[in-house]
Amino acid sequence: MKRTAPMESGKPGGVKAIPLALVFASDAEKRGWSYGRVTGAGIEPGGLSDPRIFGHDQDYRCQCNRLVGGTEIDGQVCANCGVSVGVAAVQQTRRCAHIELAAPIQHPWNVDCLFQVLCVVPLRLRSSARDEAITMRYQRILELDSRLRRMIEKKGDSVYDMVRAADSGFRVLHDELQREVNKLIDGDVGEGHGVSLSTLLEMEFRRLGEGFLSYARGIGIAFRISTRV
């Protein structure tokens, strides 16, 4: 399934329309883009701010300060803290991660598209006060997913059977998770001021700046862009 939309690119002499085709990425592709699996909220291993996944906030310096230098150590990984050194702004605007959901959910843009791997956008997109809602949404999703996992482990039934059980507590929790993912990607319905992955993606596409591909991957879609002749 493709979702197409004309976007505009400001250039001297006028505005040119660029046709954009969005193609949903598979779970395997999203895992391939990812620098690590997110399971928690902080800077701990697997956290939403884990420097091992998203990069450190200082150039050519690891988290524990045992590996410090310049371009000659670019890409090296500290044996102590596990952080790869490099240019902080580059790492933190390009490194995507992923969350493995306990049960598949639908992409809000296509009810026929089920996925179980949710992309986590680079850290710099979630670092400003304006975008705190995105981090909070990820935290809520992780919390709901953890509760679903505990229910699966306790009952031991098939995930698909548990989702299909209309009156079950699992189904209620799964529906809540679906709503949170929808809000993460598209924002709250009726709240024009809300920041979502879609609004961040549109702004970045219009700017066509560095890191654009990572932001696109953060929503879990692939782009095919062509300019009309």
Domain boundary among 94, 118, 145: 94
Give the pLDDT band of residue 10 (cuts 50, 70, 90): very low
**Pair 120, 185 in one domain:** yes
At 90-106, the pLDDT tens digits run 999 889 999 999 999 99
221-225 and 97-107 strand pairing? unpaired
Q: Is 13 a domain residue?
A: no
Instruction: Judge whether residue 61 has pLDDT over 90.
Output: yes
Q: Is 66 a domain residue?
A: yes
Average pLDDT, whole number, for the chain?
Answer: 81
Q: Which residue has the higher pLDDT, 47 or 152?
A: 47
**Pair 126, 155 in one domain:** yes
Q: Specify the pTM.
A: 0.83
Q: Is 229 a domain residue?
A: no
Instruction: Judge whether residue 29 has pLDDT over 50.
Output: yes
**Pair 137, 173 in one domain:** yes
pLDDT of residue 20: 57
Instruction: Judge whether residue 110 has pLDDT over 80.
Output: yes
- Helices 197-207 and 212-219, packing angle to 10 deg: 150
**Pair 100, 197 in one domain:** yes
Q: Is 184 a domain residue?
A: yes
**Pair 83, 100 in one domain:** no
The closest alpha carbon to 118, from 171, 22, 39, belongs to: 39
**Pair 107, 147 in one domain:** yes
**Pair 76, 178 in one domain:** no
Range of 89's domain? 56-94
State both tokens at 43. Answer: 């800077």
**Pair 47, 66 in one domain:** no
Q: Any idea which of 94-103, 145-154, 205-214 has the lowest mean pLDDT?
A: 205-214
Contacts of 44 (CB under 8 A, 6+ apart): 50
pLDDT of residue 227: 44
- Total count of domains within the chain: 2
